[in-house]
Amino acid sequence: MGLAYKFDWSVLWREPYGEWMLQGIWLTLQLGFLAWIIALSLGVFLGTMRAAPWKLLRWVSTIYVEVFRNVPFLVQLFFWFYAGPMIFGKTLQFKINAISGLNYYAAVVGLGLYTASRVAEHVRAGFASIGQGQYQAVLSTGMTQWQMYWHVMIPHALRLVIPPMTTEFLTIFKNSSVAMTIGVAETTFMSYKIDSDTFHGLEATTGAMFVYLVLGMAVVKTMSYFEKKFRIHGLVGR
């Protein structure tokens, strides 16, 4: 009795489900790329702050990283989407809630802020792996502290962290699936929606798995290109 299930793989391409899947994939790509812009810029900024010589800056970024890393992303997303508009007070709250596609913006910002904390950790580790000797050598050439950061330390650290960034860039697409919980119609949401329409969720989710698989392989290929292009000559094992 158990295996009396009749597979119907056509839910992946027949009208209108094929179109749903394509729309979902398009939204997954949007979420991933837009959130990545936030995550990369804020994460590099925060990670650099953690290597800064001022205690206050280090404290601020440490607190940010600890808070965002130790709270589940789902909880963060719900906080931004449900509680976020309330922070601005009653009158503004209703205006914000009236914005169409609010869940989409909440997902992009939430995913970006969350991933920024992970990026910051990698950047901090990158700075930590650059020896103290280099800092001193750079300062002795007469560069100011700002010049040292801008021209030497940041470019060096960023090149060192390209491999872990590949992992983060992969993770951002995987984590974007959590946006379905606030109704953003990305790939996972669409596969679930196909289930509620056809009761063929198994085929739909299996199809979605292969979407993420192909996406992941594409990211790895692209990033290994960047890794080769920006490699630091003379470093072993890169």
Partner 1 sequence: MFDAIINNLPYLLKGFLINLELAICALAGGIFLGILVGLGRISKNVWVYHSVTLYVNFIRNIPLILVIFWFYFIMPILVGKPLNPFISAAISFVVFEATYFGEIFRAGFQSISRDLVSAAYSTGLTSTQTARYILVPIAIRRMLPSMITQSIITFQDTSLAYVIGLQELVRRTTIVDGMEVRSIQLYSFVAALFFVICFVGSRISRYYEMKSREANIL
Residues in contact with partner 1 by CB under 8 A are 1-3, 5, 66-67, 69-76, 78-79, 82-83, 86-87, 170, 174-178, 180-181, 188, 191-192, 195, 201-202, 205-206, 208-209, 212-213, 216-217
CB of 230 to partner 1, least distance (A): 24
Pick 218 or 232: Cβ nearer partner 1: 218
**Comparison of 149 and 186: residue with beta carbon closer to partner 1:** 186
Shortest reach from residue 36's CB to partner 1, in Å = 16
In terms of CB distance, is 7 or 150 closer to partner 1?
7
User: Nearer Cβ to partner 1, position 159 or 201?
Assistant: 201
Cβ contacts of residue 168 below 8 Å, gap of 6+? 39, 115, 118, 119, 122
C-alpha span between 38 and 179 (Å, rounded): 16
Residue with Cβ nearer partner 1 (105 or 192): 192
**CB of 58 vs partner 1, minimal distance in Å:** 16
What is the nearest approach in angstroms of partner 1 to the Cβ of residue 143?
Answer: 32
Task: Quote the least distance from Cβ 179 to partner 1, whole Å.
Answer: 10
Q: Which is nearer to partner 1, 33 or 78 (CB)?
A: 78
Question: Residue 206 CB, nearest distance to partner 1 (Å)?
Answer: 7
